[in-house]
Amino acid sequence: MGQIKINKPGLLTTVQDLGRYGYQQFGVSVSGAMDHVSARIANILVGNDENEGLLEVTMLGPEIEFMDPIVIAITGGDLLPLLNGQIIKMNKSILVNNGDILSFNGIKSGCRSYIAFAGGIEVSELMGSKSTFTRGSIGGFQGRALKQGDILTIAEPSKPLNSLIGKEVKKSLYEYSSKIELRVIMGPQDDAFTEKGIETFFNSEYKVTNQCDRMGYRLEGEKVEHKDGGDIISDGIAMGAVQVPSHGNPVIMMADRQTTGGYTKIGNVINVDLPKIAQAKPGDTIIFKKVELEEAHRLLNELENNIDIIKEEVIKEIEVVRTLNYKLKVNGVEYNVQVEEIKS
Do 17 and 120 lie in one domain? The reply is yes
Do 194 and 115 lie in one domain? The reply is no
Do 206 and 255 lie in one domain? The reply is yes
Q: Could you tell me the residue range of the domain that residue 58 belongs to?
A: 2-163
Structure confidence by residue, pLDDT tens digits, 186-230: 999 999 999 999 999 999 999 999 999 999 999 999 999 999 999
pLDDT at 322 over 80: no
Do 72 and 183 lie in one domain? The reply is no
Contact 54, 154 (CB under 8 A): no
Q: What is the arithmetic mean of pLDDT over 90-96?
A: 97
Q: What is the pLDDT of residue 318?
A: 56
Do 117 and 29 lie in one domain? The reply is yes
Q: What is the pLDDT of residue 329?
A: 80
Asked, for residue 310, whether it belongs to a domain, the answer is no
Do 48 and 190 lie in one domain? The reply is no
Do 40 and 146 lie in one domain? The reply is yes
SS3 string, the chain, reads CEEEEEEECCCEEEEECCCCCCCHHHCCCCCCCCCHHHHHHHHHHCCCCCCCCEEEEECCCCEEEECCCEEEEEEEEECCEEECCEECCCCECEEECCCCEEEECCCCEEEEEEEEECCCECCCCECCECCCEHHHCECCCCCCCCCCCCEEEECCCCCCHHHCCCCECCCCCCCCCCEEEEEEEECCCHHHECHHHHHHHHHCCEEEEEEECCCEEEEECCCCCECCCCEEEEEECCCCEEECCCCCCCEEECCCCCCEEEECEEEEECHHHHHHHHCCCCCCEEEEEECCHHHHHHHHHHHHHHHHHHHHHHHCCCCEEEEEEEEEEECCEEEEEEEEEECC
Read off the amino acid at residue 87.
Answer: I
Asked, for residue 137, whether it belongs to a domain, the answer is yes
Q: What is the pLDDT of residue 340?
A: 73
Query: Cα separation of 260 and 177, whole Å?
Result: 31
Looking at residue 275, which CATH number applies to its domain?
2.40.100.10
What does pTM read for this prediction? 0.91
Q: What is the pLDDT of residue 327?
A: 80
Closest among 193, 242, 234 to 217, alpha carbons compared = 242
Asked, for residue 249, whether it belongs to a domain, the answer is yes
Q: What is the pLDDT of residue 99?
A: 96
Number of neighbouring beta carbons within 10 Å of residue 157: 20
Q: What is the pLDDT of residue 170?
A: 87
pLDDT at 333 over 80: no
Q: What is the pLDDT of residue 328?
A: 80
pLDDT at 145 over 70: yes
Closest among 276, 325, 244, 243 to 38, alpha carbons compared = 276
Query: Cα separation of 26 and 265, whole Å?
Result: 22
Asked, for residue 102, whether it belongs to a domain, the answer is yes
Q: What is the arithmetic mean of pLDDT over 106-120?
A: 97
Q: What is the pLDDT of residue 25?
A: 93
Asked, for residue 339, whether it belongs to a domain, the answer is no
pLDDT at 343 over 70: no
Confidence of residue 239 (pLDDT cuts 50, 70, 90): very high
pLDDT at 60 over 90: yes
Q: What is the pLDDT of residue 105?
A: 95
Q: What is the pLDDT of residue 317?
A: 58
Percent of the chain residues topping a pLDDT of 70: 98
Confidence of residue 326 (pLDDT cuts 50, 70, 90): confident
Rounded (10°) angle between helices 293-315 and 36-45: 20
Q: What is the pLDDT of residue 201?
A: 98
Closest among 253, 235, 124, 248 to 198, alpha carbons compared = 248
Structure confidence by residue, pLDDT tens digits, 27-58: 999 999 999 999 999 999 999 999 999 999 99
pLDDT at 316 over 90: no
Q: What is the pLDDT of residue 1?
A: 78
Do 124 and 265 lie in one domain? The reply is no
Do 13 and 52 lie in one domain? The reply is yes
Query: Cα separation of 53 and 155, whole Å?
Result: 11
Q: What is the pLDDT of residue 321?
A: 65
Query: Cα separation of 281 and 209, whole Å?
Result: 8
Partner residues linked to 190 by β-bridges = none
Q: What is the pLDDT of residue 323?
A: 75
Do 89 and 123 lie in one domain? The reply is yes
Q: What is the arithmetic mean of pLDDT over 283-307?
A: 97
Q: What is the arithmetic mean of pLDDT over 259-266?
A: 96
Do 33 and 150 lie in one domain? The reply is yes
Confidence of residue 335 (pLDDT cuts 50, 70, 90): confident
Confidence of residue 2 (pLDDT cuts 50, 70, 90): very high
Q: Which own/partner contact pairs does 199-205 have at CB distance under 8 Å and 24+ positions apart?
A: 200/224, 200/225, 201/244, 201/250, 201/266, 201/267, 201/288, 202/288, 202/289, 202/290, 204/287, 205/285, 205/286, 205/287
Do 151 and 183 lie in one domain? The reply is no
Asked, for residue 174, whether it belongs to a domain, the answer is no
Q: What is the mean pLDDT of the chain?
A: 94
Total count of domains within the chain: 2
pLDDT at 344 over 60: no
